[in-house]
Amino acid sequence: MKTRNAYTTAIILVLGILVLLNFVSDEFFVRLDLTEDNRYTLSKATHDILKNLEEPVTVKAYFSEELPPDIARARREFKELLVEYSNLSGGNVVYEFISPNEDETKENEAMQEGIQPVVISVREKDEMKQQKAYLGAVIKKGDKKEVIPFVQPGGAVEYALSTSIKKISVSEKPSIGFLQGHGEPSTGMLFQANAALEVLYEVEEIQLNDTVPIPEKYKTIAIIAPKDSFPYTHLQRLDEFLARGGNLLIAINRVTADFQNLYGSAVNTGLESWLPGKGITVEESFIIDTRCGAVTVQQQQGFFRFATNVNFPFLPVIQKFADHPVTKGLEQVVLQFASPLAFSGDSSLKFSPLAFTSDKSGSQRAPLYMEIQKRWVETDFPVKNLPVAAVVQGRMGGDKQARLIVISDGDFAINGEQGKGQNLQPDNVSLLVNSIDWLSDDTGLIDLRTKGISARPLEQIEDGTKTLLKYTNFLSPIILIIVYGIFRMQIKRNQMVRRMQEKY
């Protein structure tokens, strides 16, 4: 009887604890983050944005229900994120989830707000069918509105949400200038980078004046792929800008080549002579790398003519990055006719390489002729880790600290004329945008732009390792069950032996 009462008391206590935990979990949202990149830990930038909210922000999340598990996860993670945002903001983030698929009115509302459906494949009763799905959100504060049209599962959701809240919360965005007048592309030819930057900045095209300094409102100036010479007076304006603590991003083509005649030559604009005085030298050479992009070559075989891709070492694919906010989260940047960088300053300047070539790379001095179908050998790539991007920090002609980032390829983030240009891979765009963020924004939002799930492609694993992982995953549960069975059998056997003893 006493044992039964003890069991009843224990069950009541467990149920009471579960009810209490359920109540507490509703009031206080806590989760442990054991991921490699702290994916589920909100950044300091997000904390600062939410704690400085003075008026409520409303988030309407338009998410379909009954989605496949891998897509439904995006809805769950977005909701958990909003719970944390609401708690941190003291209730100033108010959210609501709406399922547009329930009726036509809600569906029209979602599309009018700027959220378009995506088509996904769903398995139902052993059949695959197409289904419309909504995964977006609208963030409003007063008469201001921002739209996240699509929440990418595993993407940088915190960055999208935090920047949207910040954008509708600030009254004036800081200005950044893209230099014009020396053959630089317009901001319209950088439409991917421009779209990302406009979230936090007023992106403006500016020209240097022979007598008037660069306006004070610009904290950062970007110089992208200039083709024409810089007059001495323009270089003076840049000197003054750095001396007062301004920041520069320079993506420079020190060399170029024509794919028609395959002739590579040096590019001279005056910047290559000005930069060594600021601590960086861009060498008059082409980087070559075994890790590279490919070009399409027409080949003739008998009566047939066909196209084939040939690796072209003059198009280095950069996969080595320093541990720096500018390159955090980047995995692969494709360059075109890049050059090595070297430090040319003194101890008053701090030089930090940001991106490097592979372990098998080299350089060839311009001018030169390029052979697309050349048979490259290992001795052609005698060096490793050549810097292709770097930052210099320190006092540059004044009493204030300045920052200068140089990337030795001016074309890596240029799309071309909008409507005709090509979309670039995200890391190319992120390198440019991260650089400007680090130079311009002190909030720390740069750390969120590439925050997400890092790719771990199995193609980079050797075949033997793949086989080992496959059989380990397959056999591990079976082995664990067998071991557990043997352990249980031994316990039972020991119990039987004890029971058979006289004193039992």
DSSP string, 55-118: S-EEEEEEE-SS--HHHHHHHHHHHHHHHHHHHHTTT-EEEEEE-GGG-HHHHHHHHHTT---E
The third-level CATH classification (topology) of the domain covering 38-168 is Glutaredoxin (3.40.30)
Q: How far apart are the C-alpha atoms of 247 and 238, rounded to whole Å? A: 10
Token couple for 38:
């702290």
Give the pLDDT score at 427.
Answer: 94
How do residues 59-92 score in pLDDT, each as one tens digit? 999 998 878 887 888 888 899 899 999 998 989 9
Summarised one tens digit per residue, pLDDT across range 196-233 is 898 788 999 999 999 999 999 999 999 999 999 999 99
pLDDT above 90: residue 239 = yes
- For strands 247-251 and 218-224, give the pairing: parallel
Provide the mean pLDDT of the chain: 85
Amino acid at 387: P
Cα 200 to Cα 146: distance, rounded to the nearest angstrom: 12
Q: Kindly report which listed range (128-142, 330-344, 371-385) carries the lowest average pLDDT score.
A: 128-142
Q: What CA–CA distance (Å, rounded) separates 144 from 51?
A: 19
Q: What are the tens digits of pLDDT across the range 381-435?
A: 999 999 999 999 999 988 899 999 999 999 999 998 876 788 999 999 999 999 9
The pLDDT of residue 360: 96
Task: Look at residue 364 in the predicted model and tell me its pLDDT.
Answer: 95
pLDDT of 377 reads 93
Instruction: Give tens-digit pLDDT for 12-33.
Output: 776 777 666 665 555 555 555 4
pLDDT of residue 46 exceeding 60: yes
pLDDT tens-digit series, residues 310-369:
899 999 999 999 999 899 889 999 999 999 999 999 999 999 999 999 999 999 999 999
305, exposed or middle or buried, with CB in 10 Å at 0-12, 13-18, 19+?
Answer: exposed
CATH code that applies to domain 175-440? 3.40.50.880
CA dist 455 and 213 (Å) reads 45
What pLDDT, on a 0 to 100 scale, did the predictor assign at position 420? 77
State the pTM of this model: 0.73
Model pLDDT for residues 447-498, shown as the tens digit of each residue? 666 565 454 454 555 666 767 777 787 788 888 888 888 888 888 888 777 7
Q: In the chain, where are the structural domains located?
A: 1-30, 38-168, 175-440, 462-500
